[in-house]
Amino acid sequence: MMGFSQMMFSWAAIIPMIVLLYYFFRKKYTEQTVASTLFWAELMQETRVSPYLKHLQKNALLFLQLLALFLLVLALMNPYIKKSTIVGSQVIFIVDTSATMLAGKGQSTFEAHRQDMLALLPELQGRPVTIITTGHTPQSILQQETNSKVIEQAIQALQVTYETAEINKALDVAQAFIGEALTSVYIWTDALDKKQLPIEKESVKWIVQGAATDLINMAITRFAATTDGQMVMALVQLHNDTEKEQTVNLLLHNEQKEQIAQETLTIPPKETVIKTLKNLPLTNRLTATIDSQDDYTLDNEQTILLQAATSTIVVDQGLHQLIQKGVQTVDSTVKLMPASQLNELSNTTVITNQTALLQQMDKPVVLFGRDDVEKVAVNGHVTTINDALFAFSHLKDIYVGAIYPAYPNATTIASVGDQPFIQRSPQGDIIVLADIEDTDWPLHPSFPLFLWSVHQQLSTEMDSLGVFSPNEQRVVSLAQGEWNIYSQEDEFLSAITNGLLLAPMKPDIYMARSTGEEKPFIVQLQPQERMIEQGTSYTLGKLQVHDTEQATQMSMMPWFIVLIVLILVIEWEVQRRRGFTN
Q: Of 167-176, 454-463, 475-484, which has the strongest mean pLDDT?
A: 167-176
Residue 154 DSSP label: H
- Residue 131: which of 151, 159, 110 has the closest Cα? 151
Pick 412 or 461 by higher pLDDT. Answer: 412
Per-residue burial over 130-144, b if 16 or more Cβ lie within 10 Å, else e, is bbbbbbbebebbbee
Nearby residues of 217 by Cβ (< 8 Å), 6 or more positions away:
103, 241, 242, 294, 295, 296, 299, 531, 532
Report pLDDT for 578.
63
| Whether residue 61 has pLDDT greater than 70 | no
Residue 30 DSSP label: P
| Whether residue 433 has pLDDT greater than 60 | yes
Report pLDDT for 470.
93
Terminus-to-terminus CA distance in the chain, angstroms?
A: 45
pTM of this structure? 0.63
Name the percent of the chain lying above pLDDT 70: 82
Report pLDDT for 441.
92
| Whether residue 14 has pLDDT greater than 60 | yes
DSSP letter for each residue of 380-427 = S-EEE-S-GGGSS---TT--B-EEPPPPTTSEEEEEETTEEEEEE-TT
Asked if 406 and 429 touch (Cβ cutoff 8 Å), the reply is: no
Report pLDDT for 7.
64
| Whether residue 85 has pLDDT greater than 60 | no
pLDDT class for 273, splitting at 50, 70, 90? very high
Averaged pLDDT for residues 391-405:
87
pLDDT class for 218, splitting at 50, 70, 90? very high
What would the pLDDT profile of 538-580 be if each residue is shown by its tens digit?
A: 988 776 544 444 445 566 677 777 887 887 777 777 767 666 5
Pick 523 or 310 by higher pLDDT. Answer: 523
Q: State which amino acid sits at residue 234.
A: A
Q: Which of 2-11, 235-244, 558-567 has the lowest mean pLDDT?
A: 2-11
Residue 308 DSSP label: B
Asked if 510 and 491 touch (Cβ cutoff 8 Å), the reply is: no
pLDDT class for 426, splitting at 50, 70, 90? confident
Report pLDDT for 252.
94
CA dist., res. 266 & res. 245, Å (int): 7
Report pLDDT for 160.
95
CA dist., res. 284 & res. 522, Å (int): 13
| Whether residue 380 has pLDDT greater than 60 | yes
Nearby residues of 205 by Cβ (< 8 Å), 6 or more positions away:
87, 88, 183, 184, 185, 539, 540, 541, 542, 543
CA angle 335, 336, 340 (to 5 degrees): 125
Q: How far is CA 549 from the centre of its chain?
A: 34
Pick 22 or 438 by higher pLDDT. Answer: 438
Q: Which of 24-28, 420-424, 433-437 has the lowest mean pLDDT?
A: 24-28
| Whether residue 361 has pLDDT greater than 90 | no
124-127, long-range: CB within 8 Å, 24+ apart, which pairs? 124/86, 124/91, 124/148, 124/151, 125/85, 125/86, 127/86, 127/88, 127/89, 127/90, 127/91
What would the pLDDT profile of 119-163 be if each residue is shown by its tens digit?
A: 999 888 888 999 999 998 999 999 999 999 999 999 999 999 999
Averaged pLDDT for residues 192-203:
85
Cα–Cα distances in angstroms (integers) from residue 197 to residues 207, 315, 442, in the given order: 11, 51, 41
| Whether residue 81 has pLDDT greater than 80 | no
Report pLDDT for 387.
76
Give every strand in the sheet of 232-240, ordered side by side.
218-227, 232-240, 272-280
| Whether residue 200 has pLDDT greater than 80 | no
Averaged pLDDT for residues 495-503:
87
- Residue 198: which of 173, 230, 162, 163 has the closest Cα? 173
Q: Which of 11-25, 192-206, 288-302, 516-530 has the lowest mean pLDDT?
A: 11-25
Beta strands at 301-305 and 312-316: parallel, antiparallel or unpaired: unpaired
CA dist., res. 351 & res. 332, Å (int): 15
What would the pLDDT profile of 307-348 be if each residue is shown by its tens digit?
A: 655 567 889 988 988 998 888 888 777 888 888 888 888 778
Report pLDDT for 344.
80
Cα torsion angle, 402, 404, 408, 411, sign? negative
Residue 468 DSSP label: E
Per-residue burial over 428-462, b if 16 or more Cβ lie within 10 Å, else e, is ebbbbbbbbebbebbebebbbbbbbbbbbbbbbee
| Whether residue 52 has pLDDT greater than 90 | no
Nearby residues of 527 by Cβ (< 8 Å), 6 or more positions away:
221, 222, 386
Helix (H, G, I), strand (E, B) or coil at 342: helix
- Residue 134: which of 104, 107, 173, 103 has the closest Cα? 173
Mean pLDDT for the chain? 83
CA dist., res. 363 & res. 313, Å (int): 10
